[in-house]
Structure 1
Amino acid sequence: MRSDVEDLMPRLLPIETANKTEALRLNEGAPRNPQEYLRQVQLEASLCPEVVVAQIDPMKLRKAQTVNASVSGCQAAPEGLSPSLGWQRQQVANFSDVRQSIAKHRRHWSTQTLDENVVMPKLSDEEGWKTFCLGETVYKATAASGTHLEPSSALDYSKMGFPPFLSIVSRLNQTTVLALLEILVGWFEEAELVPQLGRWLYALLACLEKPLIPEAHSIIRQLARRCGQLRTTLPSQEDTRLPALNLLICLVARYFEQNDLADQHE
């Protein structure tokens, strides 16, 4: 077989085959010149099997994590609720500026001292992150009754949720950004868009690095589809949630290039 391959693919560097004595010497030490190096490579190649079969454990394949990226698009916006193309372009430009600013000043903000009451949850603490970002007033009331209470006027972040301060988001690595996006988007699937959630979703998207990995594609598409679904339930274009929903759809579709999700200008 090896001669057949050589007939089809002639050698670019023809080297004489080493005899047994020379092969033994080549195995004993480093090559002393280019010719010996090429002969050593030739010798090693001759010892490789023609065909190699990988031994795969079927049990490991069953346990392997898979990513299901849905290709379904957003629901079309009701008449009068779709943003103009000019508005979408302006939001993408503004968002790009925000991302560049965060990247430029990330090191500075990550070194700033946090207040004593800012205790960031561990990565695996989903409930802790929901409370941290949304606040007890929104998250725990929603989980208990399906409705949320209005935040109190007092500046109590444990109740209101911590805003995505630069000193906080600059400390999040990409693993945490993606995990937190998944947690909040999962919560959003069964809840309304509240200001605390909107601020965090925007901030996390601003920290999400490109090119996106498959998991990130799936999560942001899920976010855009949920926004599109919720938008179809709005009573009118005067609803205060409309700009935020349009903005999130716009960023996912236009900035992160999920073009099939984009609102088409009227």
Structure 2
Amino acid sequence: MDSDDSLVDDELQPQALAVRIDDNDDFDLNIPPTTGNEYLRRVREEAKDCPQIVVADIDTSPFLQKQTVKIKEHGGRFPAPKGFTPDLQWQKLQTANFAELRQNLQRQKILMAKKGLLKRDKLPQCNDVENWCRLCFGRLMPPGVSQREVKSEVVMEEEAKPKHEGVLPLLSIVAALDQPSVIRVLEYHINWFEATGFSDKQGMWFYALLTSLQKPLSPEACALIRSLARSCGNLRATLESPEDPRLVPLNLFICLVSRYFDQTDLADPGT
């Protein structure tokens, strides 16, 4: 690349075609080029006079009446009441702890796979929402759903079964989930959260599923965790006291979605 070639230097790009420049020749732009080298020199000289950025001034009004789809975008971060948001140091600490836990989980999954300890066949199929609900909550109806909202035959069926409180997201369960299952079960929990509210057990499941969520995010996974953060923000905005036990886990999920998974428009600013 010639050091005198300001055009190439400014663009910081490698030269595609070598252009020979003789100091002693008289290059006249008014004369049609007779060789390939003269043509390239002409193109380069003319390019120097062109603006680097060109913006077309287009009148869009004729297209407004032809628009058939209008999309209303949701807002980003939900502002919390004063004193309900965590400081930046807390957010950084939670993000670092979460990243370390993800690494440990990955190492455990590799060890368990080598030892043949991953029992995927003992888990419900990823599309089996009813059995996932029973596994997580011990019943078909998530906590918060009244019996009047469910068909009577379903209520009778559930009442006839032995009662149990569901299971926590144990390592043996989380490690056995493949990525499509992680995304699908996460979707189930977000739907249950939006329909029935937030519980401690569901918070444990959210945290465990997020530790298994692979980066870079798929579009579906990205949309899901953004929905989770918005739901957390909505619920946080209704809390009456910063001493509410739900505040810390809600702040945690907003923090992880925005800081670790890079959805920064949803982040709490911190201090």
Normalising by structure 1, report the TM-score.
0.65
Match of 2:264 among 250, 255, 259: 259
- Partner residue in 2 for 1:218: 223
C-alpha contact (below 8 Å) 2:258/2:265 kept by paired residues: yes
Letter in 2 for 1:234: L
Query: Quick check: 1:174–1:209 contact (8 Å CA) kept in 2?
Result: yes
Matched residue count: 188
CA drift at 1:165: 0.7
Does structure 1 residue 121 correspond to structure 2 residue 120? no
Kindly provide the CA deviation profile for residues 145-203 of structure 1, in whole angstroms up to 9, marking residues without a partner as x.
68xxxxxxxxxx96211111111111100000001111110111112211111001000
1:224–1:261: 8 Å Cα contact kept in structure 2? yes
4+ residue runs over 2 A deviation = 68-72, 107-114, 134-138, 140-146
Is the 8 Å Cα contact of residues 131 and 140 (structure 2) preserved in structure 1? no
Q: Partners of 1:206 and 1:174 in 2: how far apart?
A: 11
Superposition deviation, residue 241 in structure 1: 0.4
Query: Who is 1:112 aligned against?
Result: 117
- Alignment partner, residue 201 of structure 2: 196
Supply the RMSD in Å over aligned alpha carbons: 2.7
Change (3 A) 1:79 1:196: same
Give the TM-score normalised by structure 2: 0.63
User: Counterparts of 1:203 and 1:235 in 2: how far apart (Å)?
Assistant: 28
1:88 match: 91
Structure-to-structure mapping, 1:144-155, within 5 angstroms: 144=147
Secondary structure of residue in 2 paired with 1:159: coil
Per-residue CA deviation, residues 56-75 of structure 1 (Å, 9 max, x unaligned), is xxxxxxxxxxxx99653131
Task: Point out where structure 1 has 5 or more consecutive residues left out of the alignment.
Answer: 1-9, 11-67, 147-156
- Aligned mate of 1:171, from 169, 176, 188: 176
Residue 101 of structure 2 is aligned to residue 98 of structure 1: yes
Task: Using the TM superposition, give the Cα deviation of residue 130 of structure 1 relative to its aligned residue in structure 2, in angstroms.
Answer: 1.6
Q: Do the aligned partners of residues 75 and 195 (structure 1) sit closer, same or farther apart at CA in structure 2, a change above 3 Å counting?
A: same
Residues 19-49 of structure 1: per-residue CA shift (max 9 Å, x gap): xxxxxxxxxxxxxxxxxxxxxxxxxxxxxxx
What letter corresponds to residue 88 of structure 2 in structure 1?
L
Q: Does the alignment pair 1:135 with 2:170? A: no
For 1:88, the aligned partner's letter is: Q
Letter in 2 for 1:203: A
Q: Residues 90 and 187 from structure 1, CA distance in 2 versus in 1: closer, same or farther, beyond 3 angstroms? A: same
Q: Work out whether residues 144 and 196 of structure 2, in 8 Å CA contact, stay in contact via their aligned partners in 1.
A: no
Change (3 A) 1:218 1:137: closer
Shift of 1:122: 1.5
CA gap 1:160/1:100 in 2 versus in 1, 3 angstroms: same
- 1 CA distance for matches of 2:75 and 2:222? 12
Aligned to 2:185: 180
Separation in structure 1 between the aligned mates of residue 169 and residue 230 of structure 2, nearest angstrom:
23
CA drift of 1:127 comes to 1.5
Helix, strand or coil at the partner of 2:164: helix
Which amino acid counterpart does residue 93 of structure 1 have in structure 2?
A
- Structure 1 pair 177–77 and aligned structure 2 pair: CA distance change class (3 A): same
Amino acid at match of 2:217: L
